[in-house]
């Protein structure tokens, strides 16, 4: 583990323990309400968890191989990224306790997403008041298909978003009901969230937009905010200094990696909540009804909800880099959109005559459920990256004896294309990159297998694909070696839209490397 990362991890663990302690204190305070609402909250959690466990592809989603890096960092605490060590610091104890398997991370992410849906109930009560609105928001979040797809995966956003929602609840509770510990809880949650995904910086704007909702004296709010800022500085200080050092060394590259909104602006249709493929149209009615209801009531909650959506997910304006990028980068905004939908459901209930109110609520829940059900095939669709993950999961444990596996180079196409490998399934085999192997093939112990995967058939948008659809870097091994198939599978090409995969069929396989008799291996 690099030395600069160790202080970050230790302080994140301290922050997570602080969150657990203060969160437990808040639950104890709310124990009377839990007796009446506990079963309803458990039902929302169960519905959200079931959707994420059932409708998720249950595979690595990152198209450009980074998902394998994320999982390895969770298992080993190595490779924690410039974006912050929050992800590996959170998941490492879980994988140590429940098994160093992707399934542990997938299950935990599904549970985090379900917890985020439940958190909309107390947040909604502070923003919208009592009534059906907060519960409708939680149900809409539990049944939102894009969040189902992200749930049972390796992605960072379920953790970052639930921490950010925790900060929003604590901040609103401090503004409405007071309590210095709530300011500290908000700061600890926000610090851990930003060290998981730095683009959660936009959440600070959302918290500022909530200030008009305050019922506490200005001096009390300022003192609490100062205490929270001090807590944030302590918990996130090493990460911030490391980030500033990286920024100073290579400002252009760092800004583009951390804040991809510097990319060209996309069309509004790239917003997931405006895409009928992902968002049931009934939700649009609830969004509009919620905005109208809050505007008519001159409710200050309209400001953080409407302005907060682009503030926390300004990646809506980012150039579309594929389906998965759209879903994950915009996912922090989904919870706020569901709160707006909850306000809409409350407005529709208020408009209905007394004896029809229950019918309106039941019909709304049925329409949300039907819209989600119709999008299950889309949510769980296996694209190329998930097909490759499934192939590796099936084939690696059953490979014949081999001492060396040769993989494509870590970076190709000028570092636009990256390759990773699930090293936790290697079973003691040596892993070597292709270019290094070709420089000194005799140094690699035999028998040797070459893995030809998705990266060998992928080209950056600015590249001209090879006529046969295979990268020349991967073809280079055939000059000195014959490839004898050991295990091979072919699938219809289901692209994500991020990179170019020219062939109609993608082929994954492990091939035994046999030196060519007619040529000297290089």
112-142 pLDDT tens trace: 999 999 999 999 999 998 889 999 999 999 9
The token duo for 28 is 């104890």
CB burial of residue 308 (10 Å; 0-12, 13-18, 19+) = buried
Q: Is the pLDDT of residue 104 over 60?
A: yes
496, pLDDT greater than 90: no
| Count: domains in the chain | 2
Alpha-carbon span 354 to 361, nearest angstrom: 12
CA distance 134 to 37: 12
Of 379, 399, 434, the domain-final residue: 379
> Is the domain of 497 the same as that of 371?
no
Domain match, 299 and 340 both: yes
Domain membership of residue 211 (yes or no) is yes
- Considering the domain architecture, whether residues 322 and 468 belong to the same structural domain is answered as no
What is the band of 80 on the pLDDT scale with cuts at 50, 70, 90? low
Task: Indicate whether 301 and 362 sit together in one domain.
Answer: yes
Both 449 and 351 in one domain: the answer is no
Based on the domain organization, do 296 and 397 belong to the same domain? Answer: no
Cα–Cα distance for residue pair 453/392, rounded to 1 Å: 9
Q: Is the pLDDT of residue 85 over 80?
A: yes
- pLDDT band of residue 268 (cuts 50, 70, 90) is low
Could you tell me if 500 and 465 are in contact, meaning their C-beta atoms sit under 8 angstroms apart? yes
Q: Give me the mean pLDDT over the 356-371 stretch.
A: 90
Q: Can you give the pLDDT at residue 264?
A: 41
- The pLDDT value given to residue 497: 81
Same domain, 374 and 459: no
Is 521 inside a domain boundary?
Answer: no
Minimum mean pLDDT range among 356-365, 417-426, 511-520 = 511-520
User: Do 434 and 372 reside in the same domain of the chain?
Assistant: no
Q: Is residue 520 part of a domain?
A: no
Domain boundary among 379, 411, 443: 379
Domain finish residue from 348, 379, 410: 379
Report residue 470 as tokens. Answer: 């295979």
Average pLDDT over residues 166-187: 96
Tell me, yes or no, whether 218 and 279 share the same domain.
yes
Full residue range of the structural domain in which residue 66 is found: 5-379
Task: Over range 299-310, report the average pLDDT.
Answer: 89
Check if the beta carbon of residue 325 is closer than 8 Å to that of residue 153: no
Query: In this predicted structure, what is the pLDDT of residue 240?
Result: 81
Average pLDDT of the chain is 89
Residue 455 has pLDDT above 60, yes or no: yes
Q: Is the pLDDT of residue 3 over 80?
A: no
For residue 393, pLDDT beyond 90: yes
CA angle 355, 356, 360 (to 5 degrees): 150
pLDDT of residue 265: 43
Q: What pTM, to 2 d.p., does this model score?
A: 0.93
Q: Please, are residues 446 and 429 in contact by the beta-carbon 8 Å criterion?
A: no
Cβ neighbours of residue 445 closer than 8 Å, sequence gap 6 or more:
403, 404, 430
Same domain, 351 and 416: no
Share of the chain above pLDDT 90, in %: 69
pLDDT (mean) for 351-369: 87
482, part of any domain? yes
Domain-located, residue 32: yes
Residues 344 and 305 in one domain: yes
Q: What share of the chain is helix, strand, coil (3-state, %, to 5)?
A: 65, 10, 25
307 plus 400 within the same structural domain: no
Q: Give the C-alpha separation, 253 to 246, whole Å.
A: 9
């Amino acid at each position: 583990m690099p030395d600069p990362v160790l202080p970050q991890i230790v302080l994140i663990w301290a922050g997570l323990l602080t969150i657990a302690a203060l969160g437990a204190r808040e639950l104890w305070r709310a124990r009377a309400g839990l007796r009446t609402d506990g079963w309803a909250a458990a039902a929302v959690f169960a519905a959200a968890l079931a959707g994420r466990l059932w409708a998720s592809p249950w595979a690595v989603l990152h198209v450009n191989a980074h998902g394998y890096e994320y999982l390895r960092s969770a298992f080993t605490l190595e490779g924690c990224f410039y974006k912050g060590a929050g992800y590996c610091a959170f998941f490492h104890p879980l994988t140590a306790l429940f098994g160093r398997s992707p399934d542990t991370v997938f299950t935990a992410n599904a549970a985090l997403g379900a917890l985020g849906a439940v958190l909309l109930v107390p947040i909604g009560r502070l923003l919208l008041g009592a009534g059906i609105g907060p519960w409708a928001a939680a149900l809409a979040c539990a049944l939102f298909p894009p969040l189902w797809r992200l749930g049972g995966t390796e992605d960072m956003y379920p953790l970052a978003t639930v921490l950010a929602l925790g900060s929003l609840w604590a901040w609103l509770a401090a503004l409405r009901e007071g309590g210095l510990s709530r300011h500290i809880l908000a700061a600890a949650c926000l610090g851990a969230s930003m060290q998981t995904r730095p683009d959660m910086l936009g959440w600070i704007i959302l918290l500022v937009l909530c200030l008009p909702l305050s019922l506490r004296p200005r001096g009390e709010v300022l003192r609490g905010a100062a205490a929270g800022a001090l807590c944030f500085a302590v918990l996130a200080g090493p990460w911030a200094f490391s980030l500033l050092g990286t920024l100073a060394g290579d400002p252009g590259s760092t800004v583009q990696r951390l804040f991809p909104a510097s990319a060209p602006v996309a069309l509004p249709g790239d917003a997931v909540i405006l895409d009928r493929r992902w968002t049931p149209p009934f939700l649009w009615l609830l969004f509009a009804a919620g905005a109208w209801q809050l505007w008519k009531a001159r409710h200050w909650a309209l400001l953080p909800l409407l302005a907060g959506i682009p503030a926390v997910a300004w990646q809506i304006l980012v150039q579309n880099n594929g389906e998965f990028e759209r879903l994950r980068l915009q996912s922090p905004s989904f919870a706020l959109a569901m709160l707006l939908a909850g306000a809409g459901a409350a407005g529709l209930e208020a408009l209905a005559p007394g004896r029809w109110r229950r019918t309106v609520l039941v019909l709304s829940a049925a329409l949300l459920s039907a819209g989600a059900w119709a999008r299950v095939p889309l949510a769980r669709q296996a694209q190329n990256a998930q097909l490759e993950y499934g192939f590796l999961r099936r084939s690696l444990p059953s490979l014949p004896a081999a001492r060396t596996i040769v993989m494509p180079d870590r970076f190709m196409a000028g570092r636009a294309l990256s390759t990773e490998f699930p090293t936790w399934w290697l079973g003691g085999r040596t892993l070597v990159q292709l270019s290094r192997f070709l420089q000194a093939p005799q140094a690699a112990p035999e028998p040797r297998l070459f893995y030809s995967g998705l990266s060998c058939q992928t080209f950056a948008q600015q590249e001209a694909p090879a006529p046969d659809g295979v990268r020349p870097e991967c073809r280079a091994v055939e000059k000195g070696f014959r490839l004898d198939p050991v295990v091979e599978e072919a699938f219809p090409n289901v692209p994500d839209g991020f990179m170019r995969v020219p062939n109609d069929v993608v082929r994954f396989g492990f091939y035994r490397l046999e030196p060519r008799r007619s040529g000297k291996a290089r």
